[in-house]
């Protein structure tokens, strides 16, 4: 199973939000580039990056920082946050990002998701961020009326290469992921699923390893707050 340490970028800094709330934000001293280097030094191979400025603006605000991380470290990087156009996807793939995560734009316009999957085969990850079973969009500020599982069934054959499922109520809370709902998603998804939101301990990582159709897990706040030590987490990386 792949482990994705997380870097959320806001105003060129590493930050963590609680339940996606920009008013409930913690800033960390280490820069995104230095944080990526720390992950690389500990043997991690994958990295999850969210451009929070991009989530708010719909632009690739932190493209240069992400490009620097790609160029400096041999990491497989997935990037999300406000990716709403084919041009933005192209910019990320041009700088060497492995997967581009589509969230709000894909949920609001399924044809955009289909076009992106066709134009960028094996490059598109679908980010499904849900609260109480319903998808949220626009940086989690707006609730849609679409049930997560219903939407997934509609787009399941589009060719998405990865699905990232986040329970917003768990994100940044360190209360453990919503394994039950993630399992429901994984059971019907045509592509491998990444668990996101609420990881609190190594026990969560071990539990995720036992689940079917789970490709990996994203770990954020628990690393930054010291609840999970990087040495300990690195031992769970698949060889």
Known catalytic residues are 8, 129
Structure tokens at 175: 């209360």
CB 226 within 8 A of CB 26: no
How many other CB atoms sit within 10 Å of the CB of residue 72? 12
Q: Which of 229, 158, 233 is nearest to 2 (CA)?
A: 233
- What is d(CA 20, CA 116) in angstroms, rounded to the nearest whole number? 26
Quick one: DSSP state of residue 41?
H
46, containing H or E segment = strand 46-51
With b for 16 or more beta-carbon neighbours within 10 A and e for fewer, the 132-162 pattern comes to: eeebbbbbbeeebebebbebbeebeebbbbb
Q: Which residues contact 34 (CB under 8 A, 6 or more apart)?
A: none
């Amino acid at each position: 199973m792949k482990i994705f340490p997380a870097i959320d970028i806001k105003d060129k800094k590493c930050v963590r939000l609680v339940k996606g709330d920009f008013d409930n934000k913690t800033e960390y001293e280490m820069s995104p580039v230095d944080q990526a280097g720390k992950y690389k030094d500990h043997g991690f191979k994958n990295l999850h990056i969210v451009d929070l400025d991009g989530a708010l603006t719909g632009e690739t605000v932190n493209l240069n920082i992400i490009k620097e991380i790609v160029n400096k470290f041999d990491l497989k990087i997935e990037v999300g946050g406000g990716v709403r156009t084919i041009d933005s996807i192209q910019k990320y793939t041009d700088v060497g990002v492995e997967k581009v995560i589509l969230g709000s734009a894909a949920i609001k316009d399924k044809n955009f998701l289909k076009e992106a999957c066709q134009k960028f085969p094996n490059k598109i990850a679908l980010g499904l961020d849900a609260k109480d079973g319903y998808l949220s969009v626009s940086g989690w500020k707006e609730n849609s009326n679409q049930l997560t599982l219903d939407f997934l069934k509609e787009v399941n054959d589009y060719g998405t290469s990865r699905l990232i499922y986040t329970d917003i109520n768990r994100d940044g809370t360190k209360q453990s992921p919503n394994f039950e709902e993630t399992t429901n998603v994984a059971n019907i998804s045509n592509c491998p699923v990444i668990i996101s939101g609420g990881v609190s301990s190594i026990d969560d990582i071990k539990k995720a390893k036992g689940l079917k159709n789970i490709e990996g897990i994203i770990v954020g706040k628990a690393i930054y707050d010291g609840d999970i030590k990087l040495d300990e987490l690195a031992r769970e990386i698949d060889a």
